[in-house]
């Protein structure tokens, strides 16, 4: 049995689901100032057109996915390319067709949602293909503790499905949004991006839901937090998206991407969301603490498509501009 606590915070509505034994969560209302966040420099300059995602792996190495590409590229901290997954000597069947997203765990295992192959491919640290999990249109993946992998696809009955390293389904969880009658619209609305933290909590950001929404689940799949942005600053875009859907016929979906990137600090559980050039910072309880507009060093705006949160900086990448280093703002 749970208690639902609704919080309305400066342009943000947050719904927390807390056990009855837990103390109530309360937040102070704050007026949100929008600041400028200027990139310090471009990093990993060979990554640009087709950029999809960046992750930090073991030994301080960085893994970068571009599409279409047959492999995930590995760089050291200085930006020098030192390898790839799968390895260059691997069989053709191990190559990626069209990688959409990926994640790397602390042991160096790499999981890639290969949309072109309708599968999630898991590679050993050596670069060899370990497991192939058939999934129709996999959108995003995230490693969980204990060698489990969370996968999201708009073609499944739940938001997320969890598998083990052998490709066996372990559990599934997360209710889909059924807000439209047409099936193809419902599928697109339930496309999402995943994040995870060190405790095994998973974060699902709806990419196409008109109202920007993120849900947080615990290790076993219980919903523990929802961030839903429904107030004045987000209403015009949401209303326009819903009008476009209402006018559309049975042809191509009329939706446009709303949340373009998610980044999670695995230690502090802070969440960063990119909505076009707007970058939002949330604390572990889901309260928005800061808002920024992101700019490249020359002053041009940057619409982030991937965010890597590190202790002292943010790496934000976009297609085709590439990956940029930003100072990590301190909480106001």
**What's the average model confidence in pLDDT over 106-124?**
96
Is the pLDDT at 4 greater than 60, yes or no?
no
332 versus 255: which is more confidently predicted?
Answer: 255
Q: In Å, how far are 21, 169, 224, 259 from 221, measured between CA atoms?
A: 19, 14, 9, 22
Question: How many separate domains does the chain show?
Answer: 1
For residue 2, being part of any structural domain is answered with no
Q: In Å, how far are 126, 213, 220, 231, 261 from 274, measured between CA atoms?
A: 33, 12, 27, 17, 5
For residue 37, being part of any structural domain is answered with yes
Q: Are 58 and 74 in contact (CB under 8 A)?
A: no
237 versus 182: which is more confidently predicted?
Answer: 237
Q: What is the pLDDT of residues 177-212, one digit of tens each?
A: 987 766 778 888 899 999 999 999 999 999 999 999
> Residue 9: which pLDDT band, with cuts at 50, 70 and 90?
very low
Give the CATH number of the domain where residue 85 resides: 2.120.10.30
- The pLDDT, as a whole number, for residue 269 is 97
**What's the average model confidence in pLDDT over 56-62?**
94
Q: Are 34 and 313 in contact (CB under 8 A)?
A: no
Q: Which residues pair with 101 in a beta bridge?
A: 113
Is the pLDDT at 176 greater than 60, yes or no?
yes
For residue 77, being part of any structural domain is answered with yes
Q: In Å, how far are 14, 135, 142, 160, 191 from 175, measured between CA atoms?
A: 17, 18, 18, 9, 13
> Residue 87: which pLDDT band, with cuts at 50, 70 and 90?
confident
- The pLDDT, as a whole number, for residue 330 is 79
For residue 331, being part of any structural domain is answered with no
For residue 4, being part of any structural domain is answered with no
**What's the average model confidence in pLDDT over 128-151?**
96
Cα gap 138→323, rounded to integer Å: 24
Quote the tokens at residue 221. Answer: 């799949």
- The pLDDT, as a whole number, for residue 237 is 86
Is the pLDDT at 19 greater than 90, yes or no?
no
- The pLDDT, as a whole number, for residue 82 is 95
Is the pLDDT at 313 greater than 50, yes or no?
yes
Cα gap 234→280, rounded to integer Å: 13
Cα gap 6→74, rounded to integer Å: 43
Cα gap 130→98, rounded to integer Å: 18
For residue 3, being part of any structural domain is answered with no
For residue 1, being part of any structural domain is answered with no
Cα gap 188→169, rounded to integer Å: 23
Is the pLDDT at 99 greater than 70, yes or no?
yes
**Domain with 35 in it:** 9-18+29-326
175 versus 25: which is more confidently predicted?
Answer: 175
Is the pLDDT at 33 greater than 90, yes or no?
no
Is the pLDDT at 8 greater than 60, yes or no?
no
Percent of the chain past pLDDT 70, that is, above it, reads 87
- The pLDDT, as a whole number, for residue 287 is 95
Q: Are 151 and 141 in contact (CB under 8 A)?
A: yes
- The pLDDT, as a whole number, for residue 262 is 98
**What's the average model confidence in pLDDT over 125-153?**
96
**Beta-strand relationship, 34-38 and 288-295:** parallel
> Residue 324: which pLDDT band, with cuts at 50, 70 and 90?
very high
**What's the average model confidence in pLDDT over 65-86?**
95
- The pLDDT, as a whole number, for residue 34 is 86
């Amino acid at each position: 049995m749970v208690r639902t606590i609704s919080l309305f915070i400066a342009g943000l509505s947050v719904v927390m689901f807390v056990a009855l034994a837990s103390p109530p969560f309360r937040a102070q209302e704050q007026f949100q100032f929008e600041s400028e966040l200027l990139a310090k420099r471009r990093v990993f300059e060979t990554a640009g057109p087709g950029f999809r995602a960046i992750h930090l792996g073991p030994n301080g190495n960085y893994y970068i996915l571009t599409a279409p590409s047959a492999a995930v590229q590995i760089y050291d901290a200085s930006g020098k390319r030192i390898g790839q997954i799968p390895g260059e000597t691997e069989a053709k069947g191990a190559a990626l067709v069209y990688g959409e997203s990926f994640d790397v765990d602390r042991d160096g295992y790499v999981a890639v949602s290969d949309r072109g192959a309708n599968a999630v491919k898991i590679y050993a640290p050596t670069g060899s293909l370990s497991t192939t999990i058939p999934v129709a249109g996999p959108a995003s993946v995230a490693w969980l503790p204990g060698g489990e992998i969370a996968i999201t696809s708009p073609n499944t009955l739940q938001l997320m499905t969890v598998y083990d390293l052998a490709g066996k389904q372990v559990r599934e969880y997360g209710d889909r949004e059924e807000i439209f009658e047409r099936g193809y619209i419902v599928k697109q609305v339930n496309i999402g991006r995943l994040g995870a933290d060190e405790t095994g909590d998973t974060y699902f950001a709806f990419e196409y839901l008109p109202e920007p929404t993120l849900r947080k689940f615990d290790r076993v799949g219980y919903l523990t937090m929802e961030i839903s942005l429904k107030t004045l600053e987000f209403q015009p875009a949401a209303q326009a998206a819903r009008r476009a859907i209402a006018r559309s016929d049975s042809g191509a979906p009329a939706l446009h991407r709303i949340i373009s990137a998610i980044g999670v600090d695995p230690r502090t559980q802070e969440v960063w969301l990119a909505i076009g050039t707007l970058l939002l910072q949330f604390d572990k309880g889901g309260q928005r603490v800061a808002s920024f507009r992101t700019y490249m060093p020359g002053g041009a705006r940057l619409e982030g498509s991937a965010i890597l949160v590190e202790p002292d900086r943010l790496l934000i990448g976009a297609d085709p501009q590439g990956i940029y280093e930003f100072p990590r703002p301190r909480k106001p």
